[in-house]
Chain A
Amino acid sequence: MSVTVLKPGLETTVQEYPGRRNMLRDGVPPSGPLDDWSFRLANLLVGNEAGAAALECQFLGPTLRFDAPALISVCGGDLSATLDGAPLPLWTGVKVLAGQTLSFGAPRLGARAYVAIAGGVDAPPVMGSRATYVTASLGGIDGGPLKAGQIIPIGEPALAARPGRVARTDRRPPIPSSKAHRISVVPGPKNDWITAAGCERFYGATWKLTSRSNRVGFRIEGGGIEFSRKAFEKDPENGDHPSNIIDIGYPIGGINWAGESPIILMHDCITLGGFIIPFTVPSGEFWKLAQMKPWETIHFFPTLVEDAQQARRKIDAVCSPGAIEG
């Protein structure tokens, strides 16, 4: 069983969850789906393991021809998916016949859709995962985003895979139609380099997601911070600018004060660098970022480590076979 790429879409990649584990130390980020909630539901709908290799589509999805019958599901953002021209229901396991074509139109809600195919994408794992890390050409199909003409091999479907099953409405990520988003952050690791007034400025600002955003980082603008004395009275090896620090390991989700505007470090980010990270977006909020379009707004608000972990546990609990009915 395989799928032929007729049109690649905008950097459509094979991803796997959770991606490359425990390799930050070697300079290799995890990669994996930005909205792992939708991703996992897509897989469960077609009888795959929740983390199985599937496709991440951004804004403009691909056009794919199925070379054999298949069971598929599309979850996440509504990118106007159609099967042979007819609207395809989201959050549903759908039977596809040999020769049928899945394509996408204009993004209607959210920004990223996940296409899971029963059996999963059968690309060879590279350094422990099939997730694509484009920067270093690792994983996926030949280390990069999909290209027209490529053949995507699909594995053996699970015996229990059957069409018509649906992800329960109350178990789906509540992707908002509003263009204004509230996203929590855990203060740290370097928030003592910011004044209290600077923190208030950060939380009070209306931030905008810019179009210079991708799987490496989301650049935001519109607000500011204020550096404390620590940022100025520091060892010269930190660098000249108050946002410069002696290189630290970078956490995914870190809001990285690099140059003229901050970057939220995403799943393909560099793993170490010399810019301050005063706040970190916890992993339970990534699905919200993943479904934002450029120029939508963010208000950040502080949360505690334990609360962020509890929020994450809730999402993990939802991403289980109990979320699927029918």
Chain B
Amino acid sequence: MIFSELDIAPAGDRHLLATIGDDASLESNFVALSFTAALDKAAIDGLCDLVPSYNSVLIQYDFDRVSYADLSIELAKIYQTIPSAADLEIESRLVKIPVLYLDPWTKACIDDYRLRIAERDYDPEFVARINHLGGPEDVVARHSGCEQWVVTVSSFPGLPILRPLDPDCALLSPKYNPPRTWTPVGSIGVGGASTSIYTIPSPGGYNLIGRTPAPVWDPSRSLSAFRDSAILLRASDRVRFTPISRDEYDEVRERVRNGSYSYSIEPGVFSTRAAQRHAATALERATGMKS
């Protein structure tokens, strides 16, 4: 459910949490990100930083420039200008990320976990079984089969959390318990209903299904795509994961190393109405019925 009034709660002396709904649907995130874009545009004095998530925005503010009460009023006002979820137009780039699925490095990481921490199936087989699919190849087909929506970029530097825009490509899986103690940079994981790209060597809970040679976090800013920022992906971008071979992986990695790699990035606008029409057509095709 999307709230008609913005829910605002304090989070200490310098932050507040603005919540727009109570579920993790894509619709809620479209509204949360439209609200975020409206806040960026409004450039409220004293508003310092924003962390949009599925259905909320954490806001950091300078209380010497704007009070909690005044900021709350301003936020509530801006929230009322956001159109309904069905009528949103959101700036959204389409970024292609090459992936070597079922790669040897995440396999080695899973093997290490099995050896040191707990017995478990090979992650792509586990995800296939949980989703009643034939095998790892079907997991790959779903993961690379549609555009994935960047819900938020957070938790670790540059780390995107994505959801498939086409429900037919959904993959659901429980996360590791206990979590992994390390994960190779560039690993592609799925967990819950989301997918992600690991940006730094870190612990993790997502099931690993592949690895990209193209960084989405580059603090050295050596590649042209990072000219303005160390972060490649932004909330409300769309990502198309593109399967590549081992040879292509090595080639991309070499071009990343020598600084010549360039990403496929197309600017665009995501329209919730067009997406809905598209989904309805797909449903018609699938069921053979007109609704």
Query: Is the beta-carbon distance between A248 and B13 smaller than 8 angstroms?
Result: no
- Measured between alpha carbons, how far is A59 from B227 in the docked complex, in Å? 40
Closest 4 CB pairs of A and B: A249-B58, A249-B51, A280-B12, A272-B154
Q: Which residues of A contact B3 (CB under 8 A)?
A: none
Q: Does A33 count as interface, using CB distance less than 8 angstroms?
A: no
CA distance A234 to B23 in the complex (A): 9
User: Are B13 and A249 in touch, CB under 8 angstroms?
Assistant: no
What is the total of A-B residue contacts with beta carbons within 8 Å? 155
| A234 and B12 contact, Cβ closer than 8 Å, known pairs A27-B156, A313-B64 | no
Contact flags (1/0) for B45-68 with A, using CB distance below 8 Å?
000111111111110100110011
Pairwise interchain contact A309-B158, C-beta atoms closer than 8 A: no
Q: Which chain B residue lies CB-closest to A282? A: B13
Number of interface residues of B (CB under 8 A): 46
Q: Whose C-beta in chain B lies nearest to the C-beta of A238?
A: B24
Contact status B200-A251, CB under 8 Å: no
Contact of B13 among A28, A238, A305 (CB under 8 A): A305
Question: Contacts A135-B200, A246-B23; is A25 near B51 (CB within 8 Å)?
Answer: yes
Determine whether the beta carbon of A22 is less than 8 Å from that of B153: no
The answer for the CA separation of A306 and B68 in the assembled complex, in Å, is: 8
A186 touches B10 (CB 8 A): yes
Binds A, one of B14-22, B97-105, B124-132, B259-267: B14-22
Q: Which of B99-146 contact A (CB under 8 A)?
A: none
Report the bound CA distance from A138 to B156 in whole Å.
12
Chain A residues whose C-beta falls within 8 Å of the C-beta of B152 in the assembled complex: 247, 272
Cα A238 to Cα B19 with chains together (Å): 14
In the complex, the answer to whether A283 meets B202 with C-beta atoms within 8 Å is no
Within 8 A of B (CB), among A247-271: 247-254, 270-271
Evaluate contact between A251 and B58: CB separation under 8 angstroms. yes
B24 close to A237 (CB less than 8 A): yes
CB contacts (< 8 Å) of B219 on chain A: these are 126-127, 136, 138
Report Cα–Cα, A264/B154, bound state, in Å.
18
Closest CB of chain A to B202's CB: distance in Å? 7
Q: Is the CB of B22 within 8 A of A28?
A: no
A22, A138, A235 interface centre (most CB from chain B within 10 Å): A235
Q: Is A98 an interface residue (CB 8 A)?
A: no
Asked if B193 lies at the interface with its beta carbon under 8 angstroms from chain A, I say yes
- Closest-by-CB residue of B relative to A234 is B22
B245: CB under 8 A from chain A?
no
User: For chain B residues 219-269, which have a beta carbon within 8 Å of chain A?
Assistant: 219, 229-231
**B residues in contact with A308, CB < 8 Å:** 12-13
Q: Which residues of B contact A170 (CB under 8 A)?
A: none
Q: Does B155 sit at the interface, judged by CB under 8 A?
A: yes
Q: Within the assembled complex, what's the spacing in Å between the Cα atoms of A24 and B11?
A: 14
Of A25, A251, A270, the contact of B12 (CB 8 Å cutoff): A251
The residue in chain A whose Cβ has the minimal distance to the Cβ of B15 is A251
Tell whether B157 is near chain A: CB-to-CB under 8 Å: yes
CA distance A246 to B161 in the complex (A): 13
A113 touches B (CB below 8 Å): no
In the complex, the answer to whether B48 meets A22 with C-beta atoms within 8 Å is yes
Check A23 for interface membership: any CB of B closer than 8 A. yes
Shortest Cβ gap from A252 to chain B (Å): 8
Q: Is A24 in contact with B23, judged by CB distance below 8 angstroms?
A: no
Q: Does A312 contact B (CB under 8 A)?
A: yes
Kindly identify which residue among A21, A191, A305 contacts B68, using a CB–CB cutoff of 8 Å: A305
